[in-house]
Structure 1
Amino acid sequence: MRKIALALAFAGAALTAGTAQASPASIEGKWKTDDGRSVIAFYKCGNAMCGRIDRFLVPEPAGGARDTENPKAALRDRKLLGLRIFWDLTADGSRFKGEGYSPEDGRYFDAQVWRSGNTLKVKGCVLLFCRTANFTRA
């Protein structure tokens, strides 16, 4: 009887291990945006991943680039350099899913981020409209 119980325990453990999904490939590091204008740094923040504007690859206006398109008037004067634009990115299957913000148009969006070889794919969706960008290692 004891051998049967052990066999069932091992079989259960084997089934559980076989159905567990692998974690997505790491997105940590610095990535150049597809338009070549900035570098986004993805980093661990608590139990999730976040992303911030690390540097600009084009000249900033005098006094620094500002969040002028933000829908909240009180935030329109904050500097973009160092601004967190991805947050709560948690592993979900082969991707990280969370939230994002585009300072170019002041929109918040549902974000998905994943590695495809040496490319970082960033998908943002607002309602039914989605766009995917390809970032390269900076």
Structure 2
Amino acid sequence: MKNAFLVSVLLALFLFTMSAPAFASNSVYGVWLTEEGTATVRIVDCGDASPCGVIETAEIPSGEPTTDVNNSDPDLRDKPIIGLVMLHGFERDDDKWKKGRIYNPEDGKSYKSSIRVDDDPNVLKVKGCIAFLCQTQRWTRVETPATLTE
């Protein structure tokens, strides 16, 4: 009886381990290089199984401000660009996350957004919209998280 239970547990762990990489490769969670190649964004679960993205690295030219100087809220202009939450508020819809917001520190504005992993699991499609005008960027996966909450 004990041996049967042990074999069942080991088999379940083996199957979970074998299926985890495929699951991870289709996840929005991880670290992504922006289309311009000038920043990386770490997307994690920020509660209620909703992803949010934090700027992890950014190429800021020498002499340029390293804080969010363009933010429309004067109280937030002293916040560093690194660590800024730029993606948040998404709701899951099948393989897509929608009804979120994307913040652009270059102009200090926030836009409607949706994100989803492309057919290539190493590409994240990030869409930002003003009314009905939308622009989509393709971000490249840099790192997949070891544990997922998706």
Q: TM-score, normalised by structure 1?
A: 0.75
Partner residue in 2 for 1:34: 35
Residue aligning to 1:67: 68
Following superposition, the deviation at residue 60 of structure 1 comes to 5.2
What RMSD, in angstroms, separates the aligned Cα atoms of the two structures?
A: 1.7
Cα deviation for residue 128 of structure 1 reads 2.1
Q: 1:119 aligns with which of 117, 123, 131?
A: 123
- Specify the SS of the correspondent of 2:44: strand
1:136 to 113, 137, 140: 140
For 1:70, the aligned partner's letter is N
Question: Which amino acid in the other structure matches residue 72 of structure 2?
Answer: P
Per the alignment, residue 96 of structure 2 pairs with 95
Structure 1 pair 94–75 and aligned structure 2 pair: CA distance change class (3 A): same
* Residue 76, structure 1, aligned to residue 80, structure 2: no
Whether the 8 Å contact between 2:60 and 2:66 is mirrored in structure 1 is no
Question: Which position in structure 1 is the counterpart of 2:51?
Answer: 49
Helix, strand or coil: the match of 1:31?
strand
Q: C-alpha displacement at 1:84, in angstroms?
A: 0.6
List, as ranges, runs of 4+ consecutive aligned residues in structure 1 with deviation greater than 2 Å. Answer: 58-64
Shift in Å, 1:59: 4.4
Counterpart CA distance in 2 for 1:68 and 1:127 is 25
Question: What runs of 5+ residues in structure 2 fail to find an aligned partner?
Answer: 1-25, 143-150
Report how far residue 63 of structure 1 moved: 9.1
Q: Which has the higher strand share?
A: 1
Alpha-carbon shift at residue 91 of structure 1 (Å):
1.0
Name stretches of at least 5 consecutive residues in structure 1 with no aligned partner: 1-24
Q: What percent of counterpart residues are identical? A: 32
Which structure has the larger Rg over C-alpha atoms? 1
Distance in 2 of aligned mates of 1:30 and 1:70: 24
Equivalent of 1:108, from 98, 107, 110?
110
